[in-house]
Amino acid sequence: MNQRNRGSEVSPLTVEGLTVAYQKKPVLRNVSFEVPEGKLIGIIGPNGAGKSTMIKAILGLLPRVSGETEIYGRPYKEMRRKVGYVPQRESVDWDFPTNALDVVMMGRYGHLGWFKRPGAKEREIAMDCLRKVGMADYAHRQISQLSGGQQQRVFLARALAQNADLYFMDEPFVGVDAMTERAIITLLNELKAQGKTVLVVHHDLATVKEYFDWVMLLNVEMVAYGPTEDVFTKSLLHQTYGGRLAVFDHEDEAILVDSR
Amino acid sequence: MEFWIIVTGALVATACGILGCFLVLRRMSLIGDAISHSVLPGIVIAFMMSGSRDSLAMLLGASVLGLVTVFLIQLFQQSGVQADASIGVVFTALFAVGVVLVSLNARQVDLDLDCVLFGEIAYVHWNTMSVFGIDGVPKAVWILGITLLAIFLVIGLFYKQFKLCAFDPAMALACGIPVALFHYLLMGLVSMTTVASFESVGAILVVGMLIVPAATAYLLTERLSIMILYSVLIGITCAVLGYYAAAWLDASIAGMMVTVAGLLFVVALIFSPSHGLLMRWVKRRRLVGVEA
């Protein structure tokens, strides 16, 4: 399933001078970066820093003012099948008449082309993905009857069903229970072990060091970007969050609280 | 004769029932309302240009106006007008233009405004048309049949796209599905259906057929495919029951069909096993009972 014989020097994602504006007010200004393959990357920044906006602009969901993005060295339009996306949970109507399995099968639609209908093969893949997030027992449950964490895991399973190499996840940890949080982090590490690259918009500063290999600090402009130990520092965080950050030193560990 | 009236009603119900599900799920029920009104100037202009009540020209004119309506609503929303306000502005303004056009041409135009708005399904069988040598079939049945065929074809072929666009348009777009195209395709079908139905149930009551059976079906199932099926079956039931109720009371047939739809909705709202008020009340009582 995984024949990965690309030139290893081609980055999964390069972004060059990306600027996005809502009614002339820039919400993301001149952001450039290159993503190393097989890393878990946390995108951190205050509210309104343009984190979700950046992902949406890369995926072509929002118009950009300027900037180039390439997925494995090619335009996104040609590389859609290499990319998986987990939107924010609140972005859809969970009262929609469908069940968990059906939602996960939607992850296959992009692979089916214009006319092919999802069938037994798609069902099998979807079941497999639900199993991986511990939701196989809930396959036929109506989605509104799932808890927030379970809904998040269904979304994650749907992204898995896309069988992508590069994943974008928009705040997957927000409002989920401890069990789901563990399930997500296990999954992220599994994806990483398969050589896949994952960018995660993240809010909880306390878990950044534990979860991510690389960190991007974003506040409309790029503040810092690199391996977590180099970038996730008190001074750079202060620079990102301004006065809205409280830092408590607790023995050697710096515990950071995002006081929004 | 009663056979053709019921067939016409059932065709309207089927076409509206299918499309209505997508409108209700996308929270765009009111766009159906908007389209059904704003097609009026399209109908009148097509009528003036073709000089006849040739349904094909009217169908075309109205479909164009339907798409213009959707486009304008979208445009206003993107320019910062609130969603409900932009729908309201666009459809009332276009409808008003239609009313003015009808009144200006009242002498030349044999277009009864009451008939456009409320339809007259009772006269359906008087206006027959011969197609492929088949005689005696009402014109409305032909037109509705063709519309329904188009709906079956488009929704059937692109069911997965319409479903994903309704549930998660961002994901659909990221997958490379042309969301805007499917949006306008759906709206085009809604316009077509509205016009095809306006002779039989009228522009106002077609909104009822678009929304009420779909909203009722929504209360009864948790699968989209089943919802569409229920919506169609409920619509057909309304057409049949509505006809006989109207015949019994000697009342407006189209009005009675939608009245029945309204009644069925209330029944579903109270008695639905999954969403019904009664079941919710029972469950709450049980919960209280357990805790006490």
Burial of A183 (C-beta count, 10 Å sphere; 0-12/13-18/19+): buried
Contact A106 B164 (CB under 8 A): yes
Instruction: Confirm if A207 and A9 have CB atoms less than 8 A apart.
Output: no
pLDDT for B17? 94
Residue A66: other Cβ atoms inside 10 A: 11
Query: What's the pTM value of the predicted model, to 2 decimals?
Result: 0.85
Give me the residues paired with residue A31 across strands.
A18
Q: What is the pLDDT of residue B282?
A: 84
Do B170 and A91 count as a contact with CB atoms less than 8 A apart?
A: yes
Q: What tokens does A30 get?
A: 């001149």
Q: ipTM surpassing 0.95, yes or no?
A: no
Residue A116: DSSP 8-state: P
Sheet holding A13-22, edge to edge: A25-35, A13-22, A66-71
Q: Domain map of chain B by residue range?
A: 2-291
* Shortest distance, CA B57 to any CA of chain A (angstroms): 31
pLDDT band at A81 (very low <50, low <70, confident <90, very high): confident
CB A192 within 8 A of CB A198: yes
Sign for the CA dihedral angle at B211, B215, B216, B221 comes to: positive
Give the pLDDT score at A154. Answer: 93
Cβ of residue A88 closer than 8 Å to a chain B Cβ: no
Mean of pLDDT values over B1-18: 89
Nearest to B176 among A98, A110, A115 (CB): A110
Cβ contact A97–B170 (<8 Å): no
Residues B243-273 pLDDT 10s: 999 889 988 888 888 899 999 999 999 988 8
Q: How many Cβ contacts (< 8 angstroms) between chains A and B? A: 72
Cβ contacts of A60 on chain B, cutoff 8 Å: 173-174
Of the pLDDT bands very low, low, confident and very high (cuts 50, 70, 90), residue B108 is low
Nearest C-alpha in B relative to A145: B222
Instruction: From chain A, pick out residues whose CB is under 8 angstroms from the CB of B160.
Output: 106, 109, 112, 117-118
Structure tokens at B36: 């059904």
C-alpha–C-alpha distance, residues A221 and A203, integer Å: 17
**Selection from A184-198, B38-52, B229-243 with the highest mean pLDDT:** B229-243
Average pLDDT on B172-200 reads: 85
**Cα–Cα distance, B96 to B100 (Å, whole number):** 6
Q: What is the pLDDT of residues B73-85, one digit of tens each?
A: 888 988 888 888 9
Kindly report which listed range (A152-161, B117-126, B269-278) carries the lowest average pLDDT score: B117-126
Domain B2-291 fold is ABC transporter involved in vitamin B12 uptake, BtuC (1.10.3470)
List pLDDT tens digits, range A200-240.
998 888 888 888 888 898 888 888 888 888 888 888 888 88
Verify whether the Cβ–Cβ distance B168 to A91 is below 8 Å: yes
Among B78, B160, B219, most A C-beta atoms within 10 A, so best to mutate, is B160
Which amino acid, residue B225? S
- Quick one: pLDDT at residue A78? 83
**pLDDT score, position A17:** 84
